[in-house]
Amino acid sequence: MSNTRQRSTVHHTFTVERTLGAPPAKVFGAFADQDLKARWFVAPEGWESGPYLLDFRVGGAESSRGNRPGGPSFTFDAVYQDIVQDERVVYTYVMHMDDAIISVSQTTVELVPEGDGTRLTLTEQGVYLDGGDTPEAREGGVAHQIDTMVALLS
């Protein structure tokens, strides 16, 4: 039996920048606290969500699952590579659609004091595999999540 699946690899880097009216410690907490992060790191409206797990430490893991009703299941599995309290978070993650890997990414979140608030810069470097995801969809999804966090902290 031959494998007729079309293989492809697309590399893409994007940056999401936001200024928040909250200090870096509060913004950092939105990444570090499982209950708080679960309020903004959510599946799109109308999706079904599975369990959300967060072990926020270097070497720790984060995992979530969701799907459109009747659609494929998407799984996010991350590992924290570097954490600097109130300043920086670096993690790598794999996205699956059902059992297929659709992307592998490295994300860096930088928090810089700006007046009474914080300048958040998120940079993601990804490789999107076999057409299961696109850079545009990922960038839009990440920007939506960050905007949800900004609204939550406002």
Distance of alpha carbon 87 from alpha carbon 79, whole angstroms = 18
The full length of the chain comes to: 154
Distance of alpha carbon 151 from alpha carbon 48, whole angstroms = 22
Judged against a pLDDT cut of 60, whether residue 2 lies above it is answered with no
Helix axes 135-153, 24-32, angle to 10 degrees: 120
Using alpha carbons, select from 64, 63, 67 the residue that is nearest to residue 48: 67
Residue that wins the pLDDT comparison between 68 and 20: 20
For the entire predicted model, the pTM comes to 0.90
**C-alpha separations of 28 from 87, 110, 134 in Å:** 7, 9, 28
pLDDT band at residue 4, thresholds of 50, 70 and 90? low
Average pLDDT over residues 120-144: 93
Average pLDDT over residues 3-9: 77
pLDDT band at residue 1, thresholds of 50, 70 and 90? very low
Tell me the per-residue pLDDT of 73-117, one tens digit each, with 9 for 90 and over.
999 999 999 999 999 999 999 999 999 999 999 999 999 999 999
Tell me the per-residue pLDDT of 16-56, one tens digit each, with 9 for 90 and over.
999 999 999 999 999 999 999 998 987 777 888 888 899 99
- Block residue for tokens 């999401």: 16
